[in-house]
Amino acid sequence: MAKLAFKDLNFIEERDKIKVIFLSFFSFQIGKAELNKISDFTIGNNFINFKNINEKSARNKFNLLLESGFKGLKSRITGKKAIYVHKNSGIPLIGNSAFGIIDRDTNIIEVKPITGCNLNCIYCSVDQDKRCAEFVVEEEYLVEELRKVIEYKECGNIEVHIASQGEPFFYVYLNDLARDISNITSVKVISIDTNGTLLTKKKVDELVKSGLTRFNLSINSLDAKKSKYISGTGYNVKHIKEIAEYISNKCDLLIAPVLLPGINEEDIEEIIRFYKSLKGSKLIGIQNFLEYRFGKNPVRQLSMDEFYDKLRKLEDKYKIKLIVNKCDFNVIKTKPLPKPFKKKSIIKARIICDGRFRNEKIAAADNRAVSVPNCYSSGNVKLKITRDKHNIFFGKII
């Protein structure tokens, strides 16, 4: 008998298939008939037993089924196709805004381990209805490539900001990610964006112990009815307030509401009052709603002059600093990552996987990912680069 046990996989028996759960929030299926071709089998929570076959042979054959199964990977968060980005996937971690690593030429480096969200906010810059695929990144691969970026930048005061096009607390290895990042000597701050709905006191404690130094908590209303409307789903205001209070006594807390003209302006004032009531380490950073081509745009974007005028009035009313800048977050310019190609460059690349949008592909070239909209090609292609800002690349087939 061969017993194959797995760290990241769990098995659930269905009628004629086995559902394989990957990293808790992703899944695919393997037909029982395919498994029986290997040998008679039984399953447990995280293992599968094959009778009348040695372990090496069973593992080799089962790995082929896994490889095929991963092509049908789906997100259990959104129900959409999912792509696992790992060392051997051939997908570079620099070049795409949805996953991987983003350097904007400062000491703050963004890491994006996962996409997908449990909320459906009316203002979201990442409209899930317009996205057709989700991504999840191997933790070891992400940290390995992050180390290379940090070493290149030669800065001893790095902040690593864990973000996502969605909610990063769906990432199973978040504690490991924070711990491994904290072991990089030049990293002084580790921050994370979250809507707070998945947070517990235990999760806060674990992340702080792992090295996280600041939670950026998105709160757009403390009114039960209004918060439900803005979030597009159920939203427990009491829980959010309790977790905010708990965080502020454990590490730094940034409360980050988005001002939506005509929707939550009065709510912003209640959030300010709640912020002032907190006793621990805290900061508030009100954001101006910005319109995005592929986002949700329920209201008109205020000009920055209009936005700052509102903040100044609130500062006077509540005797509090609301206009923050780079100095408040110790942001400094640093050595930018080199760009292997620039806008209008003609390059050779290889189509490697689907992108987040319909008919979009991701190509790989010179350790960079290049998004290719309206692409129906496969294999080796020739591209003209149409965007190169901050090493986020777009191209078109020529």
Nearest partner of 370 among 91, 1, 132, 55, judged by Cα: 91
Q: pTM surpassing 0.85? A: yes
pLDDT tens-digit readout, 165-201: 999 999 999 999 999 999 999 999 999 999 999 999 9
Q: Are 175 and 207 in contact (CB under 8 A)?
A: yes
pLDDT band at 297 (very low <50, low <70, confident <90, very high): very high
**For 274-278, what is the mean pLDDT?**
97
Alpha-carbon span 121 to 348, nearest angstrom: 39
212, 278, 200, 218: which is closest to 245 by C-alpha?
278
Nearest CA among 271, 207, 268 for reference residue 244: 271
Report the Cα 354 to chain-centroid distance in Å.
Answer: 17
30 and 69 Cβ atoms separated by less than 8 Å: yes
Predicted confidence at residue 288, as pLDDT, reads: 97
Q: What is the pLDDT of residues 80-90, one digit of tens each?
A: 999 999 999 99
d(CA 356, CA 333): 30
Q: For the chain, where are the alpha helices, taking DSSP H only?
A: 32-38, 55-70, 139-153, 174-182, 201-210, 224-231, 237-248, 265-277, 304-318
Q: Which domains does the chain have, with CATH numbers?
A: 2-72 (3.90.930), 81-329 (3.20.20.70), 346-397 (2.40.50.140)
Pairwise CA distance, residues 268 & 265, whole Å: 5
H or E segment and range at residue 193: strand 187-194
Share of the chain above pLDDT 70, in %: 100
Look at residue 33 in the predicted model and tell me its pLDDT. Answer: 97
